[in-house]
Structure 1
Amino acid sequence: MTKAEQILDFYSNLNIDVSTLPLKVDVLNPYQNPSPEMEKVLHEFYHKYYGDHHKRGLILGINPGRFGAGITGIPFTDSYRLKEFCDIDFPTDTRETSSVFVYDVIQAFGGAKKFYSNWFIGATSPLGFIHQNSKGNWVNYNYYDDPKLEKAVRPFIIDKLQEQLEICGNPRKCVVLGTGKNYKYLQKLNKKIQLFDEITPLEHPRYIMQYKLKSKENYVTKFLEALS
């Protein structure tokens, strides 16, 4: 199987039993019964950039959000970036803050073809979550935002981390997006199951865009140094 076939098989088989989750928490699974448009884009993107058998480094985000991978199915990639930098059309116009920074890094790295030839962007939890707040609105929820949720999805996370490692060719190092809870969680988990020899933390793109925008170019440089 090519890497593209492995990745598409991985996403198409993602599933969590919602009955195991805490109350007022639901799964964000864009890969379950995807629209024909999303399915077409997923196949086009992964066959374009991963239609080979080469090993890659692994970058782990937190979990998919509603407006990036939650719509396109591709981590940190909204429809605008998909068209602008990957030359792939998506019918719904979406803009996602983290995607802006990630594609600044990708362009500085040498473009999408070079970047994706060297790296696979996955997630600690490749499925996302939403939570019904006190106002009755459903909002983004990270796997670590609730101890009960973290405990419920831990077997899923371990299983899917192992599968993402296999997709990449079992690298012993990984890069983690999120220097806080995502990094600390993976550090603690890694001490128990020893997936990695080294975990390199980098600031989460959303944090940079929201709080460190004036220093964005410095962060792009930092990312390039870590990824080169």
Structure 2
Amino acid sequence: MTFSDNAIAYYNSLAAPTNLPPTVDVLNPYQEPPVKAIVEEFYTRFFNDNRPRVFVLGINPGRFGAGVTGISFTTPQNLRRYCGIDNDLRDTPELSSRFIYQIVEAFGGARDFYSRFFLTSLFPLALTKGGKNYNFYDDRLTTEALWPAITNTVRTQLAFGGDRRVAVCLGRKNETYLQRLNKQQGFFDRIVTLDHPRYILQYKTKDVDQYLDTYIATLHDCLESQ
């Protein structure tokens, strides 16, 4: 089976956990027919091979990115503009997606970028609390409830075709949890960490160009270490 075969089957099978605190909600777009079609087209177009990818791991999806499209760090409009995948989903504001697709373009576009990298998250479904984005590590009970699912997410996705020699972690706090997971499971030989795109565009807008350079250099270094 190809990377795309495995990924499509995985996302189509995702179910929301039932053991979360009552104030935390889960968005699972993968049961919606338009998203099923997007996932199939996206992975068939960019991952229809057995080439190992470097994993780039975020926290969990936001409600305006993969929480809508099913594609990590990708809004409906960026899915059309950069990936060539038409859709009728409502355009959504998502800072992280804006930054990520500047990186994608710096690598020659979606086809070249996705031939080498797999954008994903430690937990694959969007979380919200009070209608706002929520991170799996924002409270201890949620972290503990999701830890088995997080472990299974990374283990299962690595079987799609992951390069275990290096992983890229997005977010300094996220690094704490990915390092803990890696110590427990030995998924990757090493982990390199970058500031999260949302943090950059929300708090460091004056330094965006510098952050873009750092991202591009770091990702190139990961490829050279293969």
Do they superpose with TM above 0.5?
Answer: yes
Distance 2:125 2:192 in 1: 22
Give the equivalent residue in structure 1 for 2:139.
146
Please point out which of 158, 167, 171 is paired with 2:151: 158
User: How many angstroms does 1:220 deviate by?
Assistant: 1.1
Please point out which of 113, 116, 129 is paired with 1:115: 113
Which one is further off, 184-193 or 98-107? 184-193
The normalised TM-score by structure 2 is 0.92
1:25 lines up with 2:18 in the alignment: no
Q: Secondary structure of the residue that 2:155 maps to in structure 1?
A: helix
Deviations 1:114-166 (A, max 9, x none): 0000001110111221113xxxxx22111000100100111111011101111
Q: Indicate if the aligned counterparts of 1:16 and 1:156 stay in contact, CA closer than 8 A.
A: no
Q: How many residues align?
A: 219
Distance 2:147 2:163 in 1: 20
Deviations 1:76-107 (A, max 9, x none): 01011111111111212223111110000111
Q: Percent identity?
A: 44
Give the equivalent residue in structure 2 for 1:2.
2
Give the equivalent residue in structure 2 for 1:135.
none
User: How many angstroms does 1:29 deviate by?
Assistant: 1.4
Q: Indicate if the aligned counterparts of 1:55 and 1:169 stay in contact, CA closer than 8 A.
A: yes
* Residue type at the aligned position of 1:15: A
User: How many angstroms does 1:192 deviate by?
Assistant: 2.1
Structure 1 residues without counterparts, runs of 5 or longer: 133-137
Structure 2 residues without counterparts, runs of 5 or longer: 221-226
* Residue type at the aligned position of 1:21: L
The normalised TM-score by structure 1 is 0.92
1:184 lines up with 2:176 in the alignment: yes
1:69 lines up with 2:66 in the alignment: yes
Query: How do 1:1-228 residues align onto structure 2 when only pairs under 5 Å count?
Result: 1-18=1-18, 20-31=19-30, 33-34=31-32, 36-92=33-89, 93-132=91-130, 138-179=131-172, 181-228=173-220
User: How many angstroms does 1:170 deviate by?
Assistant: 4.7
Distance 1:213 1:60 in 2: 22
Q: Indicate if the aligned counterparts of 1:3 and 1:51 stay in contact, CA closer than 8 A.
A: yes
RMSD of aligned Cα (Å): 1.3
